[in-house]
Amino acid sequence: VPRAVADGVIDMVPSAAAIDAELRALEEIARRRGAAVGILGGYPLTFQRLAAWIPTLRDKDLVLAPVSATVNRQPVR
């Protein structure tokens, strides 16, 4: 069965500092495992932080991809 599992909730704590910390945590997971999945509630602040974060990914050798790109790429836990 195809699967993708959330590695973190980006905006569980809806503050800029907490969202930025969660994005950094997802980056680390992606580096270690080859992919990371974050989910979000969709607060306006979340989209503001994502808009600031996305342009930084290229310099970090990371890409933003649809969750379908992570299907079956995560280790089974």
Residue 4 in 3-state DSSP? coil
User: Residues near 8 by Cβ (< 8 Å), separated by ≥ 6?
Assistant: 22, 25, 26, 29, 36, 38, 39
pLDDT of residue 77: 62
Give tens-digit pLDDT for 23-63. 999 999 999 998 999 999 989 999 999 999 999 999 999 99
In the block, residue with structure tokens 């979000």: 40
**Residue 75 pLDDT > 70:** no
Q: What does the block give as tokens for 33? A: 């495992």
Q: φ, ψ for residue 21 (rounded to 5)? A: -65, -40
| pLDDT greater than 80 at residue 73 | no
Residue 76 has pLDDT above 70, yes or no: no
pLDDT attached to residue 62:
97
Alpha carbon distance 2, 25 (integer Å): 24
